[in-house]
């Protein structure tokens, strides 16, 4: 994709995400800052924050688990391990994600069953397991490009399906 394609996709993705009822009604959203050629999240983060949504961003721990911090704007992001952008300021702890009404998940692909293929570090598998143990039921939403919604991805016993995928071209929901 060209830089213009990536920018147009971010804009479309953000518009679709803001129309999603799960995000429109959320008070707290756990999200992430896109890097590289990932579908862009920065405009969405700013729009959620402008709506008064409490936006939590991940902080990668040495064991690949995730801590969380509050998004206070682009000027409060710092470059961290593996080229990620993380919030500066107070750390809220790994369990902070259990307060989220919706969790936005990165990934490489999602299949027709809603199973997400991640990057292999296990960070979000731990988050999803933590949410399940806590008995919370946030909406799980992956942000992808249109061609990353595929017929089938490999499945592991610990995998949790997402509820929806937002792409620049539309929203895909799963049972």
Task: Give the pTM.
Answer: 0.95
Q: Is the pLDDT of residue 81 over 90?
A: no
- pLDDT on residue 29: 98
Question: pLDDT band at residue 159, thresholds of 50, 70 and 90?
Answer: confident
Each residue's pLDDT tens digit, 10-58 = 999 999 999 999 999 999 999 999 988 889 999 999 999 999 999 999 9
Angle between helices 3-19 and 42-50 (to 10 degrees): 30
Burial of 128 (0-12, 13-18, 19+ CB in 10 A): buried
Q: Is the pLDDT of residue 77 over 90?
A: yes
65-to-25, 29, 32, 37, 57 alpha-carbon distances in Å? 28, 18, 14, 23, 13
123 is in an annotated binding site: yes
Q: What is the mean pLDDT of residues 68-90?
A: 94
**What span, in angstroms and rounded, lies between the C-alpha atoms of 144 and 164?**
11
- pLDDT on residue 162: 96
Q: Where are the alpha helices (DSSP H) in 37-167?
A: 42-50, 123-134
117 is in an annotated binding site: yes
- pLDDT on residue 129: 93
What are the sequence ranges of the domains in the chain? Answer: 3-173
152 is in an annotated binding site: no
Q: Where are the alpha helices (DSSP H) in the chain?
A: 3-19, 21-24, 42-50, 123-134
- pLDDT on residue 82: 81
Classify domain 3-173 at the CATH class level: alpha beta
Q: 3-state SS of 155-173? A: CCCCCCCCCEEEECCEEEE
Each residue's pLDDT tens digit, 84-139 = 999 999 999 999 999 999 999 999 999 999 999 988 788 999 999 999 999 999 99
107 is in an annotated binding site: no
Helices (H) and strands (E) in the chain, counts: 4, 12
170 is in an annotated binding site: no
Q: Which of 84, 34, 40, 78 is nearest to 60 (CA)?
A: 84
Q: Is the pLDDT of residue 63 over 80?
A: yes
- pLDDT on residue 97: 98
120 is in an annotated binding site: yes
93 is in an annotated binding site: no
Q: Tokens 């937002």 — which residue?
A: 166
Q: Tokens 């509820």 — which residue?
A: 163
175 is in an annotated binding site: no
Q: 152 CB contacts (<8 Å, ≥6 apart)? A: 111, 112, 113
Residue 149: DSSP 8-state = E
């Amino acid at each position: 994709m060209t830089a213009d394609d990536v920018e147009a996709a971010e804009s479309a993705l953000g518009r679709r995400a803001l129309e999603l009822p799960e995000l429109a009604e959320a008070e707290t959203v756990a999200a992430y800052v896109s890097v590289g050629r990932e579908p862009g999240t920065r405009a969405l983060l700013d729009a959620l924050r402008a709506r008064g949504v409490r936006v939590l961003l991940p902080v990668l721990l040495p064991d690949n688990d995730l801590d969380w911090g509050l998004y206070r704007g682009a000027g409060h992001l710092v470059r961290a391990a593996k080229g990620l952008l993380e919030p500066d300021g107070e750390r809220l702890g790994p369990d902070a994600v259990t307060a989220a009404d919706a969790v936005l998940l990165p990934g490489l692909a999602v299949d027709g069953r809603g199973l997400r293929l991640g990057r292999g570090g296990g960070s979000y598998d731990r988050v999803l397991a933590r949410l399940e143990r806590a008995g919370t039921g946030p909406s799980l939403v992956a942000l992808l490009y249109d061609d990353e919604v595929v017929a089938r991805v490999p499945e592991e016993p610990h995998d949790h399906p997402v509820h929806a995928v937002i792409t620049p071209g539309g929203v895909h929901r799963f049972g």
